[in-house]
A and B are shown apart, each in its own frame.
Chain A
């Protein structure tokens, strides 16, 4: 996708705006459609900010996260890539013809598969299917995702 174009920021219409119909039926609600091929954050920044798209990044009191736990660990990597996949999934649901976004999805799916294998080897299965590559029934190993753990993703 296109890189964030800083020079476009001051213009009347940029990646933070979208298209509205010039003439439209009354008594209807209109949200601007996000333009195709919008600028995107890198995977880690996307996870930290809660969106892949700078144009949709609208924080409360303009206060944003500066860190995200497990960043740079195998767990952090699958969370960041999984999140980009989710964002592209929702974007493509309403922009199914954006070839560039679909191409990016394919690329991220590849990266995610490799990152998952790395994680599973080190920390155990993410899904029951991953047990195929495990020697024991390690599905039950603590910690479970909701538990507080100092060492998760850093072992």
Chain B
């Protein structure tokens, strides 16, 4: 079960509104490599994980991704507070505004709604952990791109934190994959799928 803690993992305190930034940072909320997909990927994959170390890691990283979803939501919310109609039209935020006003909706920067088609639960230990390592790199590269485009120090402060978390998660998934490989038949690590076949 989940218990809500009334705080963010890392503070989001953005002095200046800026709908232009919100328009692309929304992709880390509900985009193809965003935090919603990350949390659902790990929290869904964990059911077929065969070893306690993997059940724990997928749960613990999946929960942390929910913290990050909340932080990205806070960024969008704070960047779009107290907007005037002039700001909305001038920034190009009007195409988002017409559908969602200043609400926070999980979508790609391009406007496509969040979709489970951006993630997979294969039910195969090596495959799922390999996907997770790729997912962390895709999210890291997206945060790199956000840092390339944003010049707001309050926003970049949070983005740098979120980006570094992707690097740490990549390392942990890599270690989990190594752990899995060592449990398997060293003559043929693909002989069975430990998520499904009895060893």
Q: Please, which residues of chain B bring their CB within 8 A of the CB of A144? A: 6
Q: Is the beta-carbon distance between B178 and A25 smaller than 8 angstroms?
A: no
Count of chain A to chain B residue pairs whose CB atoms are closer than 8 Å in the complex:
152
User: Number of contacting residues on A, CB 8 A?
Assistant: 58
Majority secondary structure, A binding face:
loop
Task: Give CA–CA (A57, B171) in the complex, Å.
Answer: 11
Q: Please, which residues of chain B bring their CB within 8 A of the CB of A101? A: none
Q: Which of A34, A79, A90, A129 contacts B11 (CB 8 A)?
A: A79
Asked if A70 is at the interface (CB within 8 A of a chain B CB), the reply is: yes
Q: Please, which residues of chain B bring their CB within 8 A of the CB of A75? A: 7, 11
What is the minimal beta-carbon distance from B181 to any residue of chain A, in angstroms? 6
Task: Give CA–CA (A73, B7) in the complex, Å.
Answer: 14
Asked if A93 is at the interface (CB within 8 A of a chain B CB), the reply is: yes
Q: Is the beta-carbon distance between B8 and A68 smaller than 8 angstroms?
A: no
B 22-40 contacts with A by CB, 8 A? none
Q: How large is the interface on B (under 10, 10 to 19, 20 to 34, 35 or more residues)?
A: 35 or more
What is the minimal beta-carbon distance from B102 to any residue of chain A, in angstroms? 13
Task: Give CA–CA (A147, B57) in the complex, Å.
Answer: 30
Task: Give CA–CA (A29, B180) in the complex, Å.
Answer: 11
Given contacts A31-B173, A128-B3, 6 further A-B pairs with CB under 8 A are A59-B160, A60-B143, A87-B168, A90-B61, A144-B6, A147-B77
Q: List 27 A-B contacts (CB under 8 A).
A: A29-B133, A31-B170, A33-B175, A49-B164, A50-B10, A50-B161, A50-B163, A50-B164, A50-B165, A50-B168, A56-B167, A59-B160, A60-B163, A65-B160, A67-B157, A68-B157, A79-B10, A86-B9, A93-B53, A93-B56, A93-B57, A129-B3, A145-B70, A145-B74, A147-B77, A148-B77, A149-B13
